[in-house]
């Protein structure tokens, strides 16, 4: 009698689990059908986090950066940033030099998204940028290799405004030597004007079906 009850309870538990899984699968299928066949254009439901201010306009069309659900490539980033990275001190060319190849074990510096990850806000810098990023290769600088940096913290390199990963010419010895007679600060501190020329008058019409199919629809 006890054996029958245990067997019945086990079968009932398995049946309930199958029912639960089956229901979840049906709900998922209904959702996917709604996405693909009923023109659901609310792409924001797929965003893993808030889009940075500089990229906010791209929310109108995920395909501006993404090919389906593939990771963003360097080529995609360079479509907008190639000009400003023309003098990139830490560019791909540097790390393809065999002298610095071992550094790639600490940080995949050949890939933009190794340091920058959209939809993750940090320190008001827009795309994700770890505050202790420099320590992947330069930990020794704050551990005695450079006396002038004794007492400095790991996260202070760029958060303090001293260093820019892609353009640190302002701290090179050659730059300092050429500008020894200049004042430590300009009379009026201001950022240079940045002119952005739009190539289209309005954002492309969102097409979620096309986004899923990688632009082949």
pLDDT band at 213 (very low <50, low <70, confident <90, very high): low
Q: Structure pTM?
A: 0.57
**pLDDT at residue 89 above 70?**
yes
- pLDDT per position as a tens digit, 139-169: 999 999 988 888 898 988 877 778 888 887 6
Confidence at 27, pLDDT banded by 50, 70, 90: confident
Q: What would the DSSP string read from start to end of the chain?
A: -HHHHHHHHHHHHHHHHHHHHHHHHHHHHHHHHHHHHS----GGGG-SSPPPGGGGGGGG-GGGT-STTPPPPHHHHHHHHTTTTTT-TT-HHHHTSTTTGGGGGT--TTSGGGT--TT---TT-SS---TTTTHHHHGGGGGTT-GGGTT--TTHHHHTTS--TT--GGGSHHHHHHTTTS-SS-SS--PPP-----SSSSPPPP-HHHHHTTT--
For residue 155 the two structure tokens come to: 């996260």
Q: Please state, for a pLDDT cut of 70, what percent of the chain lies above it.
A: 71
Please give the pLDDT value at position 139. Answer: 92
Residue 131 clears pLDDT 60, i.e. is over it: yes
Model confidence pLDDT, tens digit, residues 35-54: 655 444 556 667 777 788 78
Contact by Cβ (8 Å): 133, 165: yes
**Percent of the chain scoring above 90 in pLDDT:** 6
């Amino acid at each position: 009698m006890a054996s029958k009850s245990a067997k019945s309870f086990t079968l009932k538990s398995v049946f309930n689990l199958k029912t639960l899984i089956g229901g979840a699968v049906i709900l998922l299928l209904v959702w996917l059908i709604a996405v693909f066949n009923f023109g659901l254009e609310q792409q924001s439901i797929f965003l893993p986090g808030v889009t940075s201010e500089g990229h906010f306009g791209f929310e109108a069309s995920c395909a501006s950066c993404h090919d389906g659900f593939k990771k963003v490539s360097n080529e995609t980033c360079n479509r907008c940033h190639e000009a400003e990275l023309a003098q990139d001190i830490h560019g791909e060319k540097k790390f393809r030099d065999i002298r610095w190849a071992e550094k790639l074990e600490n940080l995949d510096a050949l890939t933009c998204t190794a340091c920058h990850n959209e939809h993750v806000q940090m320190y008001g810098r827009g795309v994700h940028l770890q505050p202790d990023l420099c320590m992947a290769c330069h930990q020794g600088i704050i551990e005695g290799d450079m006396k002038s940096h004794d007492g400095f913290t790991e996260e202070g390199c760029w958060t303090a405004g001293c260093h820019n990963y892609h353009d640190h010419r302002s701290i090179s010895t050659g730059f300092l030597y050429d500008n020894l007679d200049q004042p430590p600060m300009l009379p009026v501190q201001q950022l240079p004007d940045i002119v952005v020329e739009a190539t289209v008058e309005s954002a492309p019409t969102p097409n979620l079906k096309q986004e899923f199919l990688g632009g082949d629809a």
